[in-house]
């Protein structure tokens, strides 16, 4: 086992008292314990819907702490699921009954919205799109383009009216989720601007606990959001140049340069130590830029034991 693997957490398989199950997602290992969810942010990294073969040191800590940072900064807008972060890679919170819809908020004609627009369509998820826009132009105001959450495969676009008419979410709950989503996006936009960034688009997920809607999962992380650099945005846009993005796009670019885009027959390239370390450093830079805080690298000696011990201690104290 090389030094990078030793200081990374690839996968956990803990067994805590009262544990009802564990779900291994692309990035997180989620433990269900009574009315709690324990989320361990691993160092796995995915691209093109594939989990890459090597973990990225500190990536889990970066994403977990960015999410916790923004959840704490938005508690005044709506209740959220987070209770505690007893370890840099761990978030513990309320177990909510999730809505099967993601609230995707877009402020710019970028990504999926641009591909739809470029195809000639002027409507996305029931939302009319203005004529005369070019890629990365700002919308007159942020729009919500919901997507149904799929257990397997890709999420599917859906309109507000379809969600309500099909009884997926009742009108009152959906309207409150809309309100929360736009207010969260406005807060995220202001916080991004203070860091010299533009929050382009993001997704929010909600669930219910005891009849109350809670914000769940992560928010405003590079894995769930797209950011542009504010400086030079207008100039690049006026010249028709691509925008400078803050995301994990550099990982996808490296894979494409090495012949992998997730297509059938593509062979996953070997990730050398120097590349893995460079990705780790980029994630740390993302944390510091997004939060304005210096990144404190957690002790990675016996990292899985550290995580398991921190969770166990917190659970014991809760049940005293």
The Cα angle at residue 223 between residues 240 and 236, in degrees rounded to 5 = 15
CATH of 3-95+251-267+274-318 among 3.30.200.20, 1.20.1260.10, 1.10.3720.10, 3.50.30.30: 3.30.200.20
Question: Smallest Cα–Cα separation from 279: which of 88, 55, 69, 65?
Answer: 55
The per-residue pLDDT for range 122-135, each reduced to its tens digit, is 999 999 999 999 99
Question: Smallest Cα–Cα separation from 169: which of 153, 181, 183, 187?
Answer: 181
Angle of helix 59-73 relative to helix 273-291, nearest 10 degrees? Answer: 10
CATH of 98-246 among 3.30.590.10, 3.30.160.100, 3.30.470.20, 3.40.50.300: 3.30.470.20
**Can you give the pLDDT at residue 27?**
92
The per-residue pLDDT for range 144-198, each reduced to its tens digit, is 999 997 665 567 899 999 999 999 999 999 999 999 999 999 999 999 999 999 9
Q: Would you list the domain boundaries of the chain?
A: 3-95+251-267+274-318, 98-246
Measured distance CA(14)–CA(27) in Å, rounded? 16
Tracing tokens 């894995």 back to the chain, one arrives at 223
Measured distance CA(111)–CA(55) in Å, rounded? 27
Measured distance CA(199)–CA(191) in Å, rounded? 9
Distance, first Cα to last Cα, the chain = 39
Q: What count of other Cβ atoms lies within 10 Å of the Cβ of residue 154?
A: 8
Distance from the Cα of residue 17 to its chain's centroid: 29
The Cα angle at residue 53 between residues 85 and 64, in degrees rounded to 5 = 15
* Cα distances (Å, whole numbers) of residue 28 to 10, 46, 61: 10, 11, 11
Got the DSSP string for the chain? --HHHHTS--------TTEEEEEE-SSEEEEEETTEEEEEE-S--EETTEE-SS--TTHHHHHHHHHHHHHHHTTTTS-BSEEEEEETTEEEEE--EEEEEEEEEEEES-THHHHHHHTT--EETTEE--SS--TTPEEEEEEE--EEPPSSS--EE--HHHHHHTTSS-HHHHHHHHHHHHHHHHHHHHHHHHTTEEEEEEEEEEEEETTEEEEES--S-TTTEEEEESTTHHHHHHTTPPPPEESSHHHHHHHHHTT-SS-TT--PPP--HHHHHHHHHHHHHHHHHHHSS---PPP-TTHHHHHHHHHHHHHHHHT-
Question: Smallest Cα–Cα separation from 105: which of 58, 139, 82?
Answer: 139
User: pTM here?
Assistant: 0.91
- Which residues are 253's β-sheet partners? none
CB 161 within 8 A of CB 171: no
Alpha-carbon torsion, ordered 5, 9, 15, 20, to 10 deg: -140
Measured distance CA(50)–CA(54) in Å, rounded? 12
What is the chain's length?
320
Residues of the chain with confidence (pLDDT) below 70: 1-6, 150-154
Measured distance CA(138)–CA(149) in Å, rounded? 26
């Amino acid at each position: 086992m090389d030094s990078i693997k030793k200081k990374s957490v690839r996968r956990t398989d803990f067994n805590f008292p009262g544990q009802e199950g564990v779900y291994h997602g692309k990035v997180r290992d989620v433990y269900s314990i009574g009315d709690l969810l324990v989320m361990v942010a691993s160092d796995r990294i995915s691209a093109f819907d594939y989990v890459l073969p090597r973990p990225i040191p500190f990536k889990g800590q970066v994403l977990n702490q960015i999410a916790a940072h923004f959840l704490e900064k938005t508690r005044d807008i709506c209740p959220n699921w987070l209770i505690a972060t007893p370890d840099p890679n761990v978030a513990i919170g309320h177990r909510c009954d999730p809505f099967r819809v993601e609230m995707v908020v877009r402020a710019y004609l970028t990504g999926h919205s641009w591909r739809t627009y470029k195809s000639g369509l002027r409507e996305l998820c029931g939302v009319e799109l203005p004529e005369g826009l070019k890629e990365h132009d700002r919308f007159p105001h942020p729009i919500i383009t919901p997507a149904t959450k799929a257990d397997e495969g890709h999420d599917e676009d859906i309109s507000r009216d379809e969600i309500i008419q099909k009884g997926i979410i009742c009108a009152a709950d959906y309207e409150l989720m809309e309100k929360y989503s736009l207010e969260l996006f406005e807060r995220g936009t202001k916080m991004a601007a203070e860091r010299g960034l533009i929050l382009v688009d993001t997704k929010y997920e909600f669930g219910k606990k005891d009849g109350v809607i809670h914000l769940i999962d992560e928010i405003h992380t590079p894995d769930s959001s797209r950011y542009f650099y504010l400086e030079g945005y207008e100039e690049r846009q006026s010249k028709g140049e691509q925008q400078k993005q803050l995301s994990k796009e550099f990982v996808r670019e490296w894979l494409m340069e090495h012949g992998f885009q997730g297509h059938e027959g593509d062979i996953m390239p070997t990730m050398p130590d120097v590349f893995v370390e460079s990705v780790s450093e980029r994630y740390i830079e993302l944390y510091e830029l997004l939060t304005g805080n210096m990144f404190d690298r957690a002790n990675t000696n016996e990292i899985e034991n550290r995580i398991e011990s921190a969770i166990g201690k917190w659970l014991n104290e809760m049940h005293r």
